[in-house]
A and B are shown apart, each in its own frame.
Chain A
Amino acid sequence: MLAELINPYYLQVLSFILINIILGISIYITLSTGQLSLGHAGFMGIGAYTSAIVTINYDLPLIVGILLGAIVAGLTGILIGLPTLRLQGVYLAIATLGFGEVVRVLFINWEGMTQGAVGISSIPHIGRELVTGLRDTGFTADMIGIRSNQLISVLVFLILLVVTILLISFFVRQHRSRVGRAFAAIKMDESAAEAMGINITYYKVLAFAQGALVAGFAGALYAHITAYISPSDFSYHRAVEILIFAVFGGSEVIAGPIFGAIFLTSMPELLRDVSEYRYMIYGVILVAMMAFRPQGLIDYNMIHKLKRLRKKKDQKTIDEKESKRHDIGS
């Protein structure tokens, strides 16, 4: 029964969707203070390479490697964020674009560490490592009646799902807290925010570093799921792709980039004919969104309306219950 239900193909696609959701969240956080980064592919690469290198060369456990990858990317984010914060708008975007390219060129040339353009292969795979670990404890896939590759896919998917949900709830909660309000205020009007007592430098660096950290985290996960990375995985095109998740889905609320990542990743998988024109469609999406709906498909207003609708509904049900009670009473 279980064996027939679990298909590694669908789980694989879902796993990539989840990674893209994490990437979408990473750009969303940076954008939530009104900063546009074209360097997220660079942060993703730093996370991926750091984790791959420490797990292969120093035999660190996977979880340590992944966390280290995220942290190194986050620290780089602070390093890049602090000085570039003096830059506004397009200047920041261009500076981060430059950063991303420098990182890629570094991966290519620092052969001793990164093996250059050939890339790093045989990176420990999350699922395979786990299954090996489980086997040592005496648990194998046959015990629940599935094949080991099914178990691997399920484990990878579940881990990613849990991680993604944790991340989403982290940032949803942050959004609703004092920090999130500061982010939103800075995005809407920087000088007004500062006049209201918000230390904009601190919060902008915080957002930039959080974005970099999450991108690095996604990169590290990516490395341990494909088991192979090379510099060309973290090029300018990747940065644009990450940006599109937020531009398309919406950058005002976290549901936006999540929706964007789900839709845009599954689209070519569901419609193979679309695949041919994928990038042209991306281009059209960017232009059309800017012209007709610059805030993305899902925005504050939509969320607000949904909330009201639900409130009304709740109200209605309460009213109905009340009236029923009355009926019974009478």
Chain B
Amino acid sequence: MLLEQLINGLTLGSIYAIVALGYTLVFGVLGIINMAHGEIFMFGAFMGVVVTHTLQLPLALAFLVAIAVTAMLGLFLELIALRPLRGKKGVSHLAPLISTIGVSIFLENLAHHFFGAGNRPFNTSFSQLSIQIGSVTIYAVQLVIFAIAILLMISLSFWLSKTKAGKALRACAENLEAASLLGVNTKKMIMLTVIIASVIGGIAGVLVGMAFNSVTPQMGLSMGLKGLAIIILGGMGSVRGAMVGGLILGLSETMIVVFGESGYRDAIAFIAIIIILLVRPQGLFGQPVTEARR
């Protein structure tokens, strides 16, 4: 049983990690916590429902549609909620946080109107595929999720450190003004960041739909808060931190069910937030804030 639970934990953790990657990317470059990320994730999941269930089209198409729609949402998020605040005099650093909270409420209720409050099924034959090893059943979906999580992390790390666009992005993360002086088109890079982060969220949405067959407008909030907890745990802006933090949270949520109080499962993430912020505010893999930046 423990082995099965381990697999459950890893699957959940991988999904958390993918969601957290989107947060960490935006924070790393813009220094902003995108509170609407969970809702963009939720829209990705609903796109999967619309394609596979309502329109009865193949799963691959669901990914494409989800990517397209979440990319659009990312674009709108940047244009409507983030860009107008950038570089404006007298705007506090809390403004983007509040603004993205606004977007998240809007999207959640938009989903209520479009899709209703209820749970939507997500039927694909793919989610039935499984392999039996001894007494343990492993589903193809679980393997796919794990693989995608690893793949995303590796390609994101590679892209950031090796490609020209990635380097430009990191330059933006270091210092927006300096990057712009060095000839980096920061506007474009920021937009790219937000869109990539949103697309990652969208992919995660489809994966969750596949794995758990459960899609509701409320899922964005709970997943979003978990993702938030993870980047704080792993360190804001750290790709590795998002991955490790995701797995830690997924495994510990599973283990608390195994060993005791499933009622406190939701609280783990938040207790983790508070403890880590007090003990090690930069997170497990984050850079401590240097004094000079005060």
Chain A positions near chain B (C-beta within 8 angstroms): 34, 36, 83-84, 86-87, 89-91, 93-95, 97-99, 101-102, 105-106, 108-109, 191, 236, 240, 243, 247, 277, 279-280, 282-292, 294-295
Kindly state the separation between the CA atoms of A236 and B117 in the bound complex, as whole angstroms.
18
Question: Given A36-B94, A94-B33, A98-B270, is A87 in contact with B101 using a C-beta cutoff of 8 Å?
Answer: no
Asked whether A94 and B81 contact (CB < 8 A) given A102-B267, A283-B105, A291-B99, the answer is: no
The interface of chain B, by Cβ under 8 A from chain A, is 33, 80-81, 84-85, 90-99, 101-110, 113, 221, 225, 228-229, 232, 261, 263-264, 266-267, 269-271, 273-274, 277-278, 281, 294
A290 touches B99 (CB 8 A): yes
Partner of B96, one of A106, A108, A290: A290
Task: Let me know if B270 and A102 touch, CB within 8 A.
Answer: yes
Q: Which of A83, A99, A240 contacts B101 (CB 8 A)?
A: A240
Q: Is the CB of A279 within 8 A of B281?
A: no
| Chain B, Cβ-Cβ closest to A285 | B102
In the complex formed, the residue of B with least CB distance to A101 is B270
- Give the secondary structure class of B's interface: helix
Least CB distance, B267 to chain A, in whole angstroms: 4
Residues in A neighbouring B267, C-beta threshold 8 A: 101-102, 105-106
Known: A101-B266, A108-B263, A291-B85. A280 touches B109 (CB 8 A): yes
Q: How far is the CA of A93 from the CA of B95 in the complex (A)?
A: 12
Q: Is the CB of A286 within 8 A of B102?
A: yes
Known: A98-B229, A287-B80, A290-B85. A90 touches B102 (CB 8 A): no
A147 CB to closest chain B CB (Å) equals: 39
Q: Are B99 and A286 within 8 A (Cβ)?
A: yes
CA distance A254 to B271 in the complex (A): 33
- Nearest to A36 among chain B residues (CB) is B94
B243 nearest CB across to chain A (Å): 20
Interface centre among A84, A89, A279, A283 (most CB of B within 10 A): A283
The reply to whether B91 and A294 contact each other, CB–CB distance below 8 Å, is yes
Q: Is the CB of B281 within 8 A of A97?
A: no
Q: DSSP majority for the A interface?
A: helix
Query: Which residue of chain A has its CB nearest to the CB of B274?
Result: A98
Distance in angstroms between the alpha carbons of A102 and B228 in the assembled complex: 15
- Tell whether A283 pairs with B102 under 8 Å between CB atoms, given A94-B277, A98-B270, A109-B264: yes
Contact A102 B80 (CB under 8 A): no
Please determine whether A90 and B93 come into contact, CB atoms closer than 8 angstroms. yes
Inter-chain contact A98/B271, CB cutoff 8 Å? yes
Q: Which of B85, B102, B228, B261 contacts A94 (CB 8 A)?
A: B228
Decide yes or no: A87 and B270 within 8 Å by CB, A109-B264, A284-B102, A287-B106 being known contacts: no
Indicate whether A105 sits within 8 Å of B266 (C-beta atoms), given known contacts A95-B274, A283-B104.
Answer: yes
**How far is B212's CA from A122's CA once the two chains are assembled, in angstroms?**
40
Interface CB pairs A-B, < 8 A, 22: A36-B97, A86-B278, A87-B281, A90-B97, A93-B94, A94-B33, A94-B228, A97-B228, A105-B270, A109-B264, A243-B98, A247-B98, A279-B105, A280-B109, A283-B103, A286-B98, A288-B102, A290-B84, A290-B102, A291-B80, A291-B84, A294-B91
User: A36-B97, A98-B229 are contacts. A290–B264 as well, Cβ < 8 Å?
Assistant: no
Q: Which 6 A-B pairs have the closest CB atoms?
A: A286-B102, A283-B106, A98-B273, A283-B105, A290-B99, A98-B270
Query: A280: which B residues are within 8 A, CB to CB?
Result: 105-106, 109-110, 113
A287 to B110, CA, bound (A): 15
User: A86, A243, A291 — which one has the most chain B CB atoms within 10 A of its CB?
Assistant: A291
Contacts of B261 in A (CB 8 A): 109
The answer for the CA separation of A243 and B99 in the assembled complex, in Å, is: 12
